[in-house]
């Protein structure tokens, strides 16, 4: 039978810890726990793990188990279903769409977290990408984590390569749960059983996704995603002339912009129309003109958030391409050194073998370092086109 834990792929040890804690939390609510105090339940958790390991999925499954009527995360009761669907009144999820989580957003969330749960179980706050908390937002959260309400649990998720971006004052007050990269076999299995994907496609997607469950699903179901990956992995062997550097840079930036427009385009217009309607645009009643004049600031703030979201989406798309490139050069180093490690892109073994025969290990390492330097430059807000062109110049010359 499918439970909430079925959504957490390839993390048996973490699931066991969360399942045990959810059982203790259920006994607290039911009054059957000998200790009788909710202090026996950790009030704050920090989920870390590499991209795609399922940090936010594990947090959501734990939240569902806390709200489960049976206390085990059955997956079928109203508490489990609404928590997993994101509609439970006592489960609040913060997903940063822009470059950071603002102090205003966090203060509003802390106020909500201070309320008693409406369902008489637990108030749960999930903060995905907690490494994006601004200093002010982190300080606002710290107060709530230091003195948590009796029935409130905070679940923070942050990538394992940057857990230090979550302030140590918050980290020290959280129970840490580290997730690992799921095995390809586990990813392939969940693609087949949960998403109904044919075994050959599921196996291929699981082998090339780098342990990222969400990306495996997208590669298995989206022709455009497969085409974008193919175009990125053609870059290393296609940089034959200087003009190729600028052509490839242009293609990468435009593909990322197209991704951002695809995600944000129709949504931006719908959000703006909904806000205008709420602020009285198009109305004819008394006082409509005054309400409309006062909406300019709200519309401007919405446009600012939408621009930040589009920038984040564009950078994420570029970063995904850079991760694929880094994996290609890593595979070249594996082959040139005679290593037996599993290839990141096993379906590109012919290209990596050709590259290993053409380049020295030192030259390949310089190319890999250039890709990693480009990722760092993007994190420091260097213009994408400039950072990418600088990287491609190194990839061209080696």
Residues 211 and 172 both lie in one domain:
no
User: Does residue 287 fall inside a structural domain?
Assistant: no
pLDDT of residue 114: 82
pLDDT of residue 106: 87
Long-range contacts of 25-31 (CB under 8 A, 24+ apart): 25/65, 25/66, 25/71, 25/122, 25/153, 26/66, 26/68, 26/70, 26/71, 26/72, 27/71, 29/71, 29/120, 29/121, 29/122, 30/71
Residues 247 and 345 both lie in one domain:
yes
| Separation between Cα atoms, residue 68 and residue 81, nearest integer Å | 9
Domain range enclosing 10:
4-178
| Separation between Cα atoms, residue 151 and residue 116, nearest integer Å | 7
pLDDT of residue 38: 47
CATH number, domain with residue 170: 3.40.50.300
Q: pLDDT digits over 103-127, tens only?
A: 888 888 888 888 888 876 888 999 9
pLDDT of residue 364: 95
User: Does residue 46 fall inside a structural domain?
Assistant: yes
> What separation in angstroms does the CA of 335 have from each of 4, 169, 360, 367?
41, 44, 11, 15
Residues 306 and 333 both lie in one domain:
yes
Residues 127 and 31 both lie in one domain:
yes
> What pTM value is reported for the model?
0.76
Q: pLDDT digits over 303-353, tens only?
A: 777 777 777 778 888 988 999 999 999 999 999 998 888 899 999 999 999
pLDDT of residue 287: 53
User: Does residue 237 fall inside a structural domain?
Assistant: no
Residues 89 and 170 both lie in one domain:
yes
User: Does residue 289 fall inside a structural domain?
Assistant: no
What total of structural domains would you count in the chain?
3
User: Does residue 169 fall inside a structural domain?
Assistant: yes
User: Does residue 108 fall inside a structural domain?
Assistant: yes
pLDDT under 70: residue ranges of the chain: 1, 32-40, 97-99, 120, 161-163, 262-276, 278-295
């Amino acid at each position: 039978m499918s439970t909430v834990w079925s959504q957490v792929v390839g993390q048996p040890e973490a699931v066991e810890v969360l399942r045990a804690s959810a059982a203790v939390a259920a006994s607290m609510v039911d009054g059957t726990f000998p200790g009788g105090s909710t202090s026996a339940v950790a009030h704050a958790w920090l989920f870390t793990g590499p991209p795609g390991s399922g940090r936010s999925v594990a947090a959501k499954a734990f939240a569902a188990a806390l709200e489960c009527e049976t206390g085990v995360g059955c997956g079928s009761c109203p508490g489990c279903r609404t928590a997993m669907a994101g509609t439970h009144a006592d489960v609040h999820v913060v997903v940063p769409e822009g470059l950071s989580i603002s102090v205003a957003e966090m203060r509003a969330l802390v106020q909500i977290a201070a309320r008693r749960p409406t369902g008489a179980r637990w108030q749960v706050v999930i903060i995905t990408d907690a490494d994006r908390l601004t200093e002010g937002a982190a300080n606002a959260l710290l107060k709530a984590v230091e003195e948590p309400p009796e029935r409130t649990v905070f679940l923070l998720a942050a990538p394992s390569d940057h857990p230090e971006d979550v302030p140590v004052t918050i980290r020290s007050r959280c129970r840490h749960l580290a997730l690992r990269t799921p095995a390809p076999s586990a990813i392939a299995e969940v693609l087949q059983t949960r998403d109904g994907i044919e075994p050959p496609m599921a196996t291929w997607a699981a082998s090339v996704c780098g342990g990222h469950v969400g990306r495996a699903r997208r590669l298995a179901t989206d022709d455009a995603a497969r085409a974008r990956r193919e175009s990125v992995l053609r870059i290393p062997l296609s940089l034959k002339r200087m003009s190729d550097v600028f052509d490839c840079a242009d293609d990468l930036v435009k593909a990322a912009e197209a991704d951002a427009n695809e995600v944000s385009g129709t949504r931006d217009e719908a959000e703006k129309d909904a806000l205008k309607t709420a602020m009285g645009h198009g109305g004819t009643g008394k006082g409509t003109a005054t309400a409309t004049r006062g909406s300019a600031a709200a519309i401007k703030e919405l446009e600012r958030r939408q621009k930040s979201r589009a920038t984040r989406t564009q950078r994420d798309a570029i970063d995904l391409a850079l991760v694929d490139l880094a994996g290609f050069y890593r595979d070249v180093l594996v082959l040139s050194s005679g290593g037996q490690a599993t290839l990141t892109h096993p379906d590109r073994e012919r290209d990596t073998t050709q590259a290993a025969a053409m380049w020295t290990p030192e030259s390949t390492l310089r190319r890999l370092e250039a890709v990693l330097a480009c990722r760092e430059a993007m994190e420091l807000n260097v213009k994408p086109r400039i950072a990418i062109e600088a990287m491609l110049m190194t990839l061209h010359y080696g």
